[in-house]
Structure 1
Amino acid sequence: MLLRDYGIGRIALFLLGVIAFSLPAIGADWRPETSVEIVIPSGPGSGLDKTGRTVQGLIQANKLLEVTSAVVNKPGGGGTLAYLYINQYPSNGHYLSITSPGVITNKILGASTIDFRELTPIAQLFDENIAFMVLPDSKVKDVKTLVALLKKDPTSVLFGIATALGGANHIATASALKDAGVDIKRLRNVVFKSGGEVTIGLLGGHVDIVPISAPVAVLQIQAGKVRVIAVSSANRLTGALANVPTWREQGIDSTYSTWRGVVGPKGLTKSKIAYWDGLFAKLASLEDWKKEIETNLWVANYLNSEQSKNFLEQQHKEHYAILHDLGMAK
């Protein structure tokens, strides 16, 4: 009887071992099994598109993924279509989207139905700062002159804004001038459809000052067509903008950037988040990535998933505050 029971027990243990070996371990490390889509919430040629294609290109070139990847443009609704698209695949780690402050501001403005909390934060990549361009012979000689003019009459300077009120260029302007004591609700703004159009508007004398991404401003500086009176960064930028002071250096405690990040669809598991944390940490350490950061006048600001979650919450508070002051928060 004892021998029979012992034999049965050994067989049972053997079978349990076979079953356990054949089943995937609970909580086992996840990795992509099919092609990964990097979704861009804007059209080809945009800043977001450049970010996504740079990320995808370096991931492929450095073999950080064991599967293929592709960039997919989903413009529309201020990014809403892209975020709705990836959320059609909840908990699926094969879909990522590039983000900017629009992932927060569009909901505050009532332009989007999706809240950033409905997505899974993956990473923050870098900051892209804003330069404030004027013509060489402009009445706006410097920040001190600008603030003096606006305090005397907030309508005396015409701002060219691309591509919408409540967007990054508008918020960067309003944030700095609010801190300078200007009545930001009375500022005069002309909205243009693109960075190219607003630059033409400035060069044609149709507006007085244009806030725009730093790389765009560099092209105009090098052509001798504009001056830049301030940058929105915490510290001075490099290259052609190295001699341009920040708002802070000129007595106005304001910084702002059009940061770029990465999100996944809602419901990603810890193992999927951990995989992407590891991959983007490797990306951020690449020499090729650091060269892209320097070339494009970006400011490195890598944050992992948990840090990105906290960052987005803080950004929501700050953006809601300034948009409320502008009377634009819904």
Structure 2
Amino acid sequence: MMRVSNMPGAGGGIAYAHTVSQRTGDENVLVAASPATILRLAQGQFAHLTEEEVRWVGAVATDYGILAVQPGAPWETLEELLDQWRRDPASIVVSGGSAVGGQDHMKVLLLADRAGIDPLRVRYVPFDGGGEAMTALLGGFVNVFSGDVTQGQAQLEAGNIRVLTVMAEDRVGGEMAQVPTARELGYPVEWVTWRGFYAPAGISDDAYHRWVEVLDQLAHSDEWATVRAQARLDAYFLAGEPFESFVREQV
């Protein structure tokens, strides 16, 4: 049986520092991670710590970035939104569930840059999680929501939002199958929010490969497929040395 311990703080920094300093040789520790983790590492927000301080085990599912507006908003398409954004950057306010410089902010900055909008003129309001950021959109306090497919799917099905784009290589399934990707609209921006794990750096190679095998079995199990579908996550698996190389390249 696995015991789950939640260790919030500093966008994963507390858990990362604890793993590095207190659990470095513990072969029974596996820590959840996402692009938010490596983004903060790339930004130097985990003090002196780097991506080399742990063993990156693997990723077992993925999500994708979206931009959404209210159904009654004046923009039917992403291009209509971007047209106004270019003309009057101050008129567009974006909510997201991450801090300034975090995932939801970076999605918008990348798209703005590709669309010819000065990223420094993007008005981004951070909230404590995607739920609060979505509430801000539904309440009319912001114009645009920056988040993930999993955060917007239920609201889209309920008719509460209009999703203008998905930041994936290909269109996703479900209700969002009709939503174009940013790439097909002429803006090569992808934001893949993988769900993965790392382990302490001091574990043996045997222990590391055992964890890789565990994730392999999990990712290809019927039970995980059910859980993943319930969470509205897409299938994705990358583990072992290829995943470690992937993380280093991303940072």
Q: TM-score, normalised by structure 1?
A: 0.72
The one-letter amino acid paired with 2:187 is I
1:231 and 2:169 correspond: no
Give the % identical residues. 28
Q: Is the 8 A contact 2:39 2:103 kept in 1?
A: no
SS of 1:155 mapped into structure 2: helix
Moved over 4 A (4+): none
- Deviation for aligned residue 1:206: 1.2
1:304 and 2:239 correspond: yes
Q: Which residue of 1 aligns with 2:35?
A: 101
C-alpha separation between the residues in 1 aligned to 2:206 and 2:170? Answer: 37
Q: Is the 8 A contact 1:248 1:254 kept in 2?
A: yes
C-alpha separation between the residues in 1 aligned to 2:158 and 2:60? Answer: 30
- Deviation for aligned residue 1:292: 2.6
Q: Which residue of 2 aligns with 1:212?
A: 147
Q: Which residue of 2 aligns with 1:180?
A: 115
1:118 and 2:118 correspond: no
- Deviation for aligned residue 1:105: 2.0
Q: TM-score, normalised by structure 2?
A: 0.93
Q: Which of structures 1 and 2 has the larger relative contact order (alpha carbons within 8 angstroms, sep 6+)?
A: 2
SS of 2:197 mapped into structure 1: strand
Q: Is the 8 A contact 1:177 1:184 kept in 2?
A: yes
- Deviation for aligned residue 1:84: 2.0
1:146 and 2:81 correspond: yes
C-alpha separation between the residues in 2 aligned to 1:81 and 1:130? Answer: 25
Deviates more, 1:190-199 or 1:256-265: 190-199
SS of 2:94 mapped into structure 1: strand
C-alpha separation between the residues in 1 aligned to 2:85 and 2:241? Answer: 41
The one-letter amino acid paired with 2:80 is T
SS of 2:203 mapped into structure 1: coil
C-alpha separation between the residues in 1 aligned to 2:67 and 2:44? Answer: 28
C-alpha offsets along residues 23-81 of structure 1, whole Å, 9 cap, x if unaligned?
Answer: xxxxxxxxxxxxxxxxxxxxxxxxxxxxxxxxxxxxxxxxxxxxx31111111121111
Structure 1 unaligned spans of 5+: 1-67, 317-330
SS of 1:300 mapped into structure 2: strand
Q: Is the 8 A contact 2:156 2:162 kept in 1?
A: yes
Q: Which residue of 2 aligns with 1:89?
A: 23
The one-letter amino acid paired with 2:99 is A
Q: Is the 8 A contact 2:30 2:198 kept in 1?
A: yes
Matches within 5 A, 1:1-330: 68-87=1-20, 88-113=22-47, 114-316=49-251
Q: Is the 8 A contact 1:203 1:225 kept in 2?
A: yes
SS of 1:139 mapped into structure 2: coil
C-alpha separation between the residues in 1 aligned to 2:40 and 2:29? Answer: 21
C-alpha separation between the residues in 2 aligned to 1:239 and 1:249? Answer: 18
Q: Is the 8 A contact 2:65 2:190 kept in 1?
A: no
Q: Is the 8 A contact 1:86 1:96 kept in 2?
A: no
SS of 1:249 mapped into structure 2: coil
Structure 2 unaligned spans of 5+: none
Superposition RMSD on alpha carbons, in Å?
1.6
Q: Is the 8 A contact 2:64 2:149 kept in 1?
A: yes
C-alpha separation between the residues in 2 aligned to 1:108 and 1:251? Answer: 27
- Deviation for aligned residue 1:213: 2.0
Q: Is the 8 A contact 1:238 1:297 kept in 2?
A: no
C-alpha separation between the residues in 1 aligned to 2:42 and 2:221? Answer: 36
C-alpha separation between the residues in 1 aligned to 2:233 and 2:115? Answer: 26
SS of 2:184 mapped into structure 1: helix
Q: Who wins on radius of gyration, i.e. which is larger? A: 1
- Deviation for aligned residue 1:110: 4.1
C-alpha separation between the residues in 1 aligned to 2:74 and 2:113? Answer: 21
C-alpha separation between the residues in 2 aligned to 1:215 and 1:124? Answer: 17
C-alpha separation between the residues in 2 aligned to 1:285 and 1:200? Answer: 35
C-alpha separation between the residues in 1 aligned to 2:2 and 2:125? Answer: 40
Q: Is the 8 A contact 1:124 1:262 kept in 2?
A: yes
C-alpha separation between the residues in 1 aligned to 2:180 and 2:232? Answer: 15
C-alpha separation between the residues in 1 aligned to 2:99 and 2:19? Answer: 25
